[in-house]
Amino acid sequence: MLSNYKLDAEDEKILNELDNLCGVVQNKEVLRDIILYIKLKQNNELDFGNYNIIVRNKSSYNLLNDLLKVCSKIFVKYNIVKNDRICYLDKIINSRRECALDKITGIDDSIIVINDRKLRINYNDELDNLNRIINQFKDKIFIFEDTNYCEGETDGELGKLASFRMTIDKISLDDKIMYCRNSFDEHNIKYKKQDIKDYADVPFWILKNMIIKLLIECKTKNLNFVDKQMLKKNKEFYSKNTKIKRNERNNKKQEEKNSKKELNELVGLNEIKKQMEKILNYVKLNKERGRMPSLHMCFTGNPGTGKTSIARVIGKIFEEENILSGSGDFVEIHGRDLVDKFVGWTAQKVHDTVEKAIGGVLFIDEAYSLVADRRGGFEDEAIATLIKEMEDHRNEVCIILAGYTDEMKNLIQLNPGFASRIQFTINFPDYNESELLEIFDGLCKKERYKLSNNCKETLINNFKKAKNENNFGNGRYVRNLFEKVKFEQADRVIQTNSKAINTITKKDIENAINTISYNEIERRKIGFGS
């Protein structure tokens, strides 16, 4: 019986198609779960609903179709649907507005896509109708495309109609690098990995045209290798014809305006902002004098106090001021991520991690976890290698060690090599109640929620109480509370059939707070002390 719940070779082959698709590979595990659920449901061992999916689409490219083509192969293989054809229902409705939703579901396509944004105005009228249609047409898969980014609203409205959740991310530089490598590998074109990163750093639609032109050139000239000069020439051709250079300059100017603005717009952190301005002035002046200082820093303070946010902005500012090349990534890791399990592996892992961040920022959270329980452990190897890397690349990368104040002091004291290499130590204070409220209010505005007039006093009182708890999470606590408030708000909106789907009430907040308090009590009961 156990073998029935293993994926066969054909399943794995279909799943592996996601590896070559930008922005969707993270859905591999979801699709794997869907396959296992199909097997369980067919054996009458599990049945918690349908196979419908809410797809949260964050990309401006048409990646949904690529994702659904892979999904449809699974559904066809297991006879869940009759064919792999996809119908984008909103397009039919837009061209046939006089047709009610249930009048056009006789279409033959097996996968029906409904766009959340385009149909939201019809939900109140059509939700019951849509539920009836889903129950009536069990041989179809309904896909709800969410492009509004209001997760609480979407799940509240459609959660009972769809059993699974997928996401489509914006296409990153790593995705574009992968696309280049896969394209070259598929056509047996050799290349140097270090040449691809700069080549791929263009909008994705332009990159696809660049690749096509380059492959045509290679095949017509019988070339099996692309060198750096060929890649540069190919990119320059499209730079001239699509005005990439002009756009890059405009984007650069916009970013220059935004980075310091982004720093100033962060809630609270006034003393930190002043220190960062002094650090920037100090580094710029010393660079002009030809005495570039070490850029490495130590951030101390409780969780959620803005350490990661400040680190990200530092990377942007250092790039704009030509202090760092900007060719590296913002690399965020946990201290334990530097430790490997075999002799000799840890040093290489540390080296590779620093190498990836050169030209940018390496942010090591909870760096004190590198303190070993005994001498001679792999943690000591990680620290020794990291200290060497900090010295070797002192002008090329900004390495930031972060964590609780006392624990970080202990790390530095136990390893004197850090002290001579860390140029700046910054302590991040806890947020006060007003700042926590400002963070909560900012989250509401970002997702287009509105607070009713009697909410703020409830929030302030809760923040005062929460700040007295051990290991208070500051901004993390606020974000956690906000997610729970959205959950309670969505449930209330659906239960009461409220039209004010963007309004958060005092009751929503109180219900969310009670949930947090209950969870804390439960943790104590089962032995995870506060």
Residue 485 has pLDDT above 50, yes or no: yes
Assess whether pLDDT exceeds 60 at residue 526. no
CA angle 454, 456, 457 (to 5 degrees): 80
If 0-12 CB within 10 Å is exposed, 13-18 middle and 19+ buried, where does residue 39 land? Answer: middle
CATH class of residue range 2-168: alpha beta
pLDDT at 437 > cutoff 50: yes
Mean pLDDT, residues 224-233 taken together = 89
Instruction: List pLDDT tens digits, range 371-419.
Output: 866 555 678 888 888 998 888 888 788 999 999 888 999 888 888 888 8
Instruction: Check the CA dihedral 56-61-64-67 and report its sign.
Output: negative
pLDDT value at residue 1: 45
pLDDT at 99: 46
The pLDDT of residue 152 = 58
Each domain of the chain, given as residue ranges in start order, spans 2-168, 173-242, 255-428, 433-525
pLDDT band at residue 524, thresholds of 50, 70 and 90?
very low
pLDDT above 60 for 287: yes
H or E element, residue 398:
strand 398-403
Domains 2-168 and 255-428 fall in the same CATH topology: yes
**The model's pTM:** 0.50
pLDDT value of position 472: 81
The mean pLDDT value for 131-149 works out to: 79
Give the integer Cα–Cα distance in Å for 60 and 63: 8
CA–CA separation, 387 vs 369, rounded Å?
Answer: 15
Task: Name which of 385, 365, 375 is nearest 303 in CA terms.
Answer: 365
Give yes or no for residue 20 having a pLDDT over 90.
no
CATH class of the domain comprising 173-242 = mainly alpha
Q: At what angle do helices 270-288 and 307-320 cross, to 10 degrees?
A: 30
Q: Which residue would you say has higher pLDDT here, 211 or 132?
A: 211
Query: What average pLDDT does this structure show over 296-319?
Result: 88
Quick one: average pLDDT of 306-320? 86
Q: What is the mean pLDDT of residues 17-26?
A: 84
Q: What was the pLDDT predicted at 215?
A: 92
Question: 255-428 belongs to which CATH class?
Answer: alpha beta
Tokens representing 70 are: 């892979």
Name the pLDDT band for 207 (thresholds 50, 70, 90).
Answer: confident
- What pLDDT, on the 0 to 100 scale, is given for residue 154? 62
Task: Give the pLDDT of residue 43.
Answer: 86
DSSP run (H or E) holding 330: strand 330-334
pLDDT at 108 over 80: no
Measure the CA–CA gap between 11 and 148, rounded to whole angstroms: 32
Residue 90 CB burial class (10 angstroms; 0-12, 13-18, ≥19): middle
Please determine, for residue 16, whether its predicted confidence score (pLDDT) is greater than 70. yes
pLDDT number for residue 530: 32
Tell me: the pLDDT tens digits for 236-256?
Answer: 887 665 554 445 544 554 554
- To the nearest whole number, what is the mean pLDDT of the chain? 80
> Residue 257 burial (CB < 10 Å; 0-12/13-18/19+)?
exposed
The pLDDT value recorded for residue 160 is: 77
* Helix, strand and coil in the chain, % to nearest 5: 60, 10, 30
Classify residue 341 as exposed, middle or buried by CB count within 10 Å of its CB (0-12, 13-18, 19+): exposed
Average pLDDT over residues 413-426: 86
Fold of the CATH domain 433-525: Helicase, Ruva Protein; domain 3 (1.10.8)
DSSP letters spanning 115-162: EHHHHGGGHHHHHHHHHHHHHH-TTSEEEEEE-S--HHHHHHHHTTT-
Average pLDDT over residues 55-81: 87
Q: Give the tens place of pLDDT for each residue, 262-282.
A: 787 788 888 888 888 888 888
H, E, C per residue of 447-463: CCCEECCCCHHHHHHHH
In the chain, pLDDT over 90 holds for what percent of residues? Answer: 16
Which pLDDT band, with edges at 50, 70 and 90, does 107 fall under? low
